[in-house]
Chain A
């Protein structure tokens, strides 16, 4: 395989930037173009639901790189112009502004779009949270509000609830699961999270189905549950998950499912790759396909794709890393913390407010979760890398 003369990256966020930076770091001297739908230079999303929403971090500070560092990449950066069509065989992208960009290699890193409630109107007071503009608008509304309902019991919903509570608002968290994050971390850790939110004064409406929003000609006034009960609200945060931003890839010739379908090299077609939240690829270590929605994956997959563009031909089979901050609790997960897995505490305890839990399935350690135990969590990561035998878990316990 020869090195392409030019690379076009679609999606100018953390994954797209990682591709460009990794290519240059690996010595690539060809032409680079970074195309983004948002008008902002690449910025970071994780602080949006945490320090930006709370006001502890100015929105500008989420910028991933200062201008000087971007300029050093010697890439053409085109912002505020979404791609609207890809012709995969021709390796050509058409943009909303009418540009036609071609490159020998194209990397797609267009991330996710938030899902909305059926029939969700653009009512004042109703928010989703994906972009920095979303975060600024939500913060402005929260500052004038007293009652917030967060719809969604995943990572984003729980973080938004925690931040709003920290701002002194009355917060209700509604979701369909028996505990928050049950489908990500399982019922046991989910139970600890439910206790944490309850202790902080969040009203939890778990196992509840949302029927829709209620409001008047001014703004949203509440959330209606199945059964008719209305939870009053001046602000509603809809955090019911996201779907891959692949609408623009219809008729592209690429295979689309829950994301852009890729092989173990993150290759969607000859000369076309996908990176980050939008990419569904074959993980050789696990023997299955998957898609991850976390920041570290976007960066590592970006580096892996850059290497493959340069001819390395290496499978991408990471030990994922993910974290969430809620109140004064920092949860970190290395590997896979699947809901059906066995869970064993190896350090600390929930009563102490800090612990490390190992997750196991198929007779092996598959994941480690730390709750306010940063260093110890990092130490146990090795068991995930090595796939330590689950039968040894008892002997790993700190005495």
Chain B
């Protein structure tokens, strides 16, 4: 799995950090910081959920890789 975040669409909600704090963090202004762009398999479920609930639709996943 590879994660791509679109900081322009990120609205700083931090839902991703609540769900997967090992993969996502936030700058002080709220914009997402990607800590791990190809996370370990045990994190995939949480990352998929984060991508689904992200209020900015800012998290895109490439599952093949």
Contacts and interface: CB of A to CB of B under 8 A. Distances in A.
Nearest to A328: B29
Nearest to B18: A378
A57 B57 contact: no
Interface string A19-54: 001100100000000000000000010110001000
B52 A22 contact: yes
Interface stretch (A77-85, A206-214, A295-303): A295-303
B26 interface: yes
A375 B57 contact: no
Nearest to B11: A323
SS of B interface (majority): loop
Interface in B8-60: 8-9, 11-15, 17-18, 26, 28-30, 48-49, 52-53, 55-57, 60
A230 interface: no
Contact of B11 (A25, A46, A61, A66): A46
A272 B60 CA distance: 31
Given A296-B55, A321-B15, A375 B8 contact: no
A47 B9 contact: yes
A300 B53 CA distance: 7
A325 B11 contact: yes
B48 to A, nearest CB: 6
Contacts of B8: 51, 57, 61
A145 interface: no
Contacts of A65: 57
A330 interface: yes
A44 B57 contact: yes
Interface of A: 18, 21-22, 25, 44, 46-47, 51, 57, 61-62, 64-66, 69, 295-296, 299-300, 303, 321, 323, 325, 330, 332, 374-375, 377-378, 381
Given A69-B60, A295-B55, A375-B14, 18 more contacts: A18-B52, A44-B56, A46-B55, A57-B8, A61-B8, A61-B9, A65-B57, A296-B15, A303-B52, A303-B53, A321-B15, A321-B55, A323-B13, A330-B11, A332-B12, A374-B14, A378-B14, A378-B18
Interface of B: 8-9, 11-15, 17-18, 26, 28-30, 48-49, 52-53, 55-57, 60
